[in-house]
Amino acid sequence: MNRASFFSPQAGRVIEAPRQTRARFGIGDVVRHKHHDFRGVVFDIDPVFASSEEWYQSIPAEVRPRRDQPFYHLLAENEESSYVAYVSQQNLTGDADGGPVEHPSLSEMFDAFSNGRYPLRRGLAH
Protein backbone atom coordinates (compact mmCIF):
# COMPACT_ATOMS: atom_id res chain seq x y z
CA MET A 1 0.00 0.00 0.00
CA ASN A 2 1.22 3.47 -0.85
CA ARG A 3 1.98 5.35 2.40
CA ALA A 4 2.72 8.92 3.45
CA SER A 5 3.97 10.37 6.70
CA PHE A 6 3.29 13.54 8.68
CA PHE A 7 4.49 14.99 11.98
CA SER A 8 1.91 15.02 14.76
CA PRO A 9 2.55 17.62 17.49
CA GLN A 10 0.13 15.75 19.80
CA ALA A 11 2.04 12.49 19.41
CA GLY A 12 5.44 14.20 19.23
CA ARG A 13 6.47 11.92 16.36
CA VAL A 14 6.08 11.15 12.67
CA ILE A 15 2.94 9.16 11.84
CA GLU A 16 2.73 6.74 8.91
CA ALA A 17 -0.61 6.74 7.08
CA PRO A 18 -2.11 5.40 3.87
CA ARG A 19 -1.98 7.95 1.04
CA GLN A 20 -5.76 7.72 0.72
CA THR A 21 -8.27 7.36 3.51
CA ARG A 22 -12.02 7.78 3.40
CA ALA A 23 -13.21 10.38 5.88
CA ARG A 24 -17.01 10.31 6.27
CA PHE A 25 -17.14 13.84 7.64
CA GLY A 26 -15.58 17.11 6.52
CA ILE A 27 -14.44 20.37 8.07
CA GLY A 28 -17.53 22.21 9.35
CA ASP A 29 -19.75 19.14 9.66
CA VAL A 30 -21.79 18.73 12.84
CA VAL A 31 -21.39 15.29 14.41
CA ARG A 32 -22.54 13.41 17.51
CA HIS A 33 -20.68 10.76 19.51
CA LYS A 34 -22.42 7.39 19.27
CA HIS A 35 -21.79 6.37 22.90
CA HIS A 36 -21.26 9.58 24.89
CA ASP A 37 -23.65 12.48 25.13
CA PHE A 38 -21.84 15.18 23.18
CA ARG A 39 -21.79 16.73 19.75
CA GLY A 40 -19.40 19.01 17.94
CA VAL A 41 -18.08 20.62 14.77
CA VAL A 42 -15.17 19.06 12.85
CA PHE A 43 -12.24 21.48 12.61
CA ASP A 44 -9.42 19.11 11.64
CA ILE A 45 -9.01 15.51 10.47
CA ASP A 46 -6.12 13.08 10.93
CA PRO A 47 -6.10 10.22 8.37
CA VAL A 48 -5.18 7.79 11.17
CA PHE A 49 -4.70 8.05 14.94
CA ALA A 50 -2.14 10.80 15.58
CA SER A 51 -2.28 11.65 19.28
CA SER A 52 -0.11 10.46 22.13
CA GLU A 53 0.34 6.82 23.07
CA GLU A 54 -0.59 7.77 26.64
CA TRP A 55 -3.94 9.13 25.43
CA TYR A 56 -4.59 5.98 23.38
CA GLN A 57 -3.72 3.62 26.23
CA SER A 58 -5.98 5.55 28.63
CA ILE A 59 -9.00 4.25 26.68
CA PRO A 60 -10.22 0.91 28.11
CA ALA A 61 -9.07 -1.92 25.82
CA GLU A 62 -12.60 -3.27 25.31
CA VAL A 63 -13.73 0.04 23.71
CA ARG A 64 -10.43 1.29 22.29
CA PRO A 65 -10.88 2.25 18.61
CA ARG A 66 -8.66 1.00 15.81
CA ARG A 67 -5.77 3.31 14.91
CA ASP A 68 -6.13 2.84 11.14
CA GLN A 69 -9.16 5.07 10.60
CA PRO A 70 -9.71 8.83 10.45
CA PHE A 71 -9.74 10.70 13.76
CA TYR A 72 -11.54 14.03 14.07
CA HIS A 73 -10.73 17.13 16.09
CA LEU A 74 -14.01 18.62 17.31
CA LEU A 75 -15.17 21.82 18.93
CA ALA A 76 -17.44 19.85 21.23
CA GLU A 77 -20.19 20.56 23.73
CA ASN A 78 -22.35 18.71 26.18
CA GLU A 79 -24.91 20.00 28.67
CA GLU A 80 -22.21 21.13 31.12
CA SER A 81 -19.34 22.54 29.05
CA SER A 82 -17.56 23.24 25.79
CA TYR A 83 -14.20 21.63 24.98
CA VAL A 84 -12.01 20.14 22.24
CA ALA A 85 -12.45 16.41 21.58
CA TYR A 86 -10.50 13.86 19.51
CA VAL A 87 -12.75 11.07 18.25
CA SER A 88 -12.43 8.07 15.93
CA GLN A 89 -14.64 7.85 12.87
CA GLN A 90 -16.28 4.63 14.15
CA ASN A 91 -17.65 6.55 17.14
CA LEU A 92 -19.28 9.42 15.23
CA THR A 93 -22.52 9.94 13.38
CA GLY A 94 -23.82 12.99 11.54
CA ASP A 95 -25.99 15.43 13.50
CA ALA A 96 -26.82 18.34 11.16
CA ASP A 97 -30.50 18.07 12.18
CA GLY A 98 -29.54 18.91 15.76
CA GLY A 99 -29.08 22.57 14.83
CA PRO A 100 -26.18 24.86 15.70
CA VAL A 101 -23.47 24.06 18.25
CA GLU A 102 -22.81 26.64 20.98
CA HIS A 103 -19.01 26.34 21.31
CA PRO A 104 -17.36 29.71 22.15
CA SER A 105 -14.49 29.17 19.65
CA LEU A 106 -16.70 28.52 16.61
CA SER A 107 -16.65 32.13 15.38
CA GLU A 108 -12.83 32.08 15.24
CA MET A 109 -12.88 29.41 12.51
CA PHE A 110 -16.34 29.31 11.00
CA ASP A 111 -19.10 31.51 9.64
CA ALA A 112 -22.67 31.11 10.91
CA PHE A 113 -24.44 27.73 10.80
CA SER A 114 -26.01 27.36 7.37
CA ASN A 115 -27.60 24.43 5.50
CA GLY A 116 -26.73 21.98 8.29
CA ARG A 117 -23.02 22.83 8.58
CA TYR A 118 -20.50 25.53 9.39
CA PRO A 119 -18.69 27.09 6.41
CA LEU A 120 -15.00 27.74 7.06
CA ARG A 121 -14.26 31.44 7.41
CA ARG A 122 -12.84 33.05 4.31
CA GLY A 123 -9.05 33.21 4.50
CA LEU A 124 -8.76 30.05 6.62
CA ALA A 125 -9.24 27.55 3.79
CA HIS A 126 -6.19 26.14 2.01
The CATH number for 90's domain is: 2.30.30.390
Cα–Cα distance, 23 to 100 (Å, whole number) = 22
Q: Is residue 124 part of a domain?
A: no
Q: Quick one: which of 48, 2, 3 has its CA closest to 23?
A: 48
| The model's pTM | 0.83
Q: Is residue 46 part of a domain?
A: yes
Q: Is residue 33 part of a domain?
A: yes
Q: Is residue 9 part of a domain?
A: yes
CA 21 distance to own-chain centroid? 14
Number of domains in the chain: 1
Q: Which domain holds residue 62?
A: 3-109
pLDDT at position 96 is 82
| Residue 7: pLDDT over 80 | no
Note the pLDDT tens digit of each residue in 69-126: 999 999 999 999 999 999 999 999 999 888 999 999 999 999 999 999 999 998 765 5
Q: Is residue 44 part of a domain?
A: yes
What percentage of the chain carries pLDDT values higher than 70? 81
